[in-house]
Amino acid sequence: MTSVVDLDNQGSSKAFDKNWSQRPETHYNHWVKGAPKNQIQLAFRSHWRVFQELMAGMDAKTCLEVGAGRGSISSYFADHGFDCTLLDSSAVIMDVAAKIFEKNGHPAKCMVGNALDLPFASGSFDVVVSIGLLEHFEDIALPMREMDRILRPGGLFLGYVVPENPGNIQKYFRGFNSFLGLMAGFFKKSTKGAAAKEDVFRSDFKSGKYAEVIRTLNGSDIFVTGLYPVPMISHSPDFPFSLLPAPLEWCLTRIFEMVLWVRKILTGRNGWMCSEKMGQAFLVSYKKSA
Ligand SMILES: C[S@@+](CC[C@H](N)C(=O)[O-])C[C@H]1O[C@@H](n2cnc3c(N)ncnc32)[C@H](O)[C@@H]1O
């Protein structure tokens, strides 16, 4: 298994908390009502559209996001009338999320807690979602079992995973991003005030390993797909991803939208879905057996 060095390999919660305390990106809000203005807003919009397809026909009103960070995906759920709960081990980021939700007029409960010991009764939620959480656990069965416990029978689990996958689409843009990094350092603009990022543990587990756990949970309608078939173009593409100047972000977003549109025409399905090898991430989803 390839991973960066981190002693806390069950969530990397300490490293995340430190990053949230020190990084300017902590305050970026990635939900947007209208057209996405940057790559990361486009990414969350695209995740949401895939999730909507998977929730079609479901009677779902309550949603819990575990490892919620700023709650960018929860903002979409809240904006579509879901009763949202956000949980994260970092008090710093839960504070930020609460302010973002208040500013956007989205009601939500923001709680500090541990994915391995969720403070909810069994069967509490219609949908349980995590974005970029599970890959930070060496033993993925631990958070997955706990998330399954609090899902109601017939409820939907959505796990978006960003594995260590050096062969994905990003590999073709590494040189260009390094060049942007040099430029950012040279002009000392976009990196102003930014502390170095703490390394976090990230596994290279493929979706099959997650599906194995789901089978032990008796999940039905298991669905797996690669996601995110476009690169992140940035002087600092690791989480939390730093944005380029706004006009550049706007242009890239329009280009990527076109790519997704062409992909949809060519493949006949949501253009955000792709092979697991190519995608920056993958989705594992299932319904809890009734
Ligand atoms: C990569 S970030 C993703 C944040 C957010 N979901 C997003 O999409 O921007 C992972 C998050 O998981 C949180 N986390 C790590 N370990 C955790 C644990 N054991 N319980 C709850 N949250 C945890 C971190 O604090 C961090 O906010």
Give pLDDT, residue 119: 97
Does the beta carbon of 100 sit less than 6 angstroms from any atom of ligand 1?
no
End-to-end CA distance of the chain: 35
Q: Which of these, 159, 114, 113, 108, lies nearest to 133 by C-alpha position?
A: 159
CB 21 within 8 A of CB 92: yes
Q: 42: CA distance to ligand 1 center in Å?
A: 20
Does the beta carbon of 96 sit less than 6 angstroms from any atom of ligand 1?
no
Q: How far, in Å, CA of 273 to CA of 283, rounded? A: 9
According to DSSP, the β-strands at 220-227 and 273-274 are antiparallel
Q: Reply yes or no on whether the pLDDT at 216 is more than 90.
A: yes
**Residue bearing the CA closest to ligand 1, atom 5:** 69
pLDDT (mean) for 224-246 = 89
Give pLDDT, residue 192: 47
For residue 36, is the peptide bond before it cis, meaning its omega torsion is within 30 degrees of 0?
no
pLDDT (mean) for 244-257 = 96
Name the helix (H) or strand (E) containing 51: helix 39-55
Does the beta carbon of 115 sit less than 6 angstroms from any atom of ligand 1?
yes
Residue 229 Cα distances to 42, 43, 93, 111, 213, angstroms: 12, 10, 28, 33, 26
Does the beta carbon of 150 sit less than 6 angstroms from any atom of ligand 1?
no
Give pLDDT, residue 27: 77
Give pLDDT, residue 257: 98
Give pLDDT, residue 50: 98
Phi, psi of 116 (to 5 degrees): -90, -5
Q: Per-residue DSSP letters for 101-170?
A: HHHHT--EEEEE-BTTB-SS-TT-EEEEEEES-GGGBSSTHHHHHHHHHTEEEEEEEEEEE----TTSGG
Give pLDDT, residue 5: 42
Q: Reply yes or no on whether the pLDDT at 176 is more than 50.
A: yes
Residue 239, Ramachandran bin (φ over 0: left; ψ between -120 and 50: alpha; else beta): beta
Q: What is the pLDDT of residues 67-80, one digit of tens each?
A: 999 999 999 999 99
Residue 199 or 145, more confident: 145
Does the beta carbon of 70 sit less than 6 angstroms from any atom of ligand 1?
yes
Does the beta carbon of 88 sit less than 6 angstroms from any atom of ligand 1?
yes
Tell me the sheet residues that pair with 85.
64, 109
**Position 7 confidence tier, pLDDT thresholds 50, 70, 90:** very low
Q: Which of 89, 146, 239 to mutate to test the pocket of ligand 1 (most atoms within 8 A of CB)?
A: 89
- Give the ligand 1 atom nearest the CA of 90: 25
Does the beta carbon of 285 sit less than 6 angstroms from any atom of ligand 1?
no
Residue 144 or 7, more confident: 144
Unique residue bearing structure tokens 């930020």: 96
Give pLDDT, residue 2: 38
Q: Which of 88, 116, 130, 131 to mutate to test the pocket of ligand 1 (most atoms within 8 A of CB)?
A: 88
CB 157 within 8 A of CB 128: yes
Q: What is the pLDDT of residues 135-159, one digit of tens each?
A: 999 999 999 999 999 999 999 999 9
Q: What is the pLDDT of residues 87-125, one digit of tens each?
A: 999 999 999 999 999 999 999 999 999 999 999 999 999
Q: 282: CA distance to ligand 1 center in Å?
A: 17
- Give the ligand 1 atom nearest the CA of 114: 20
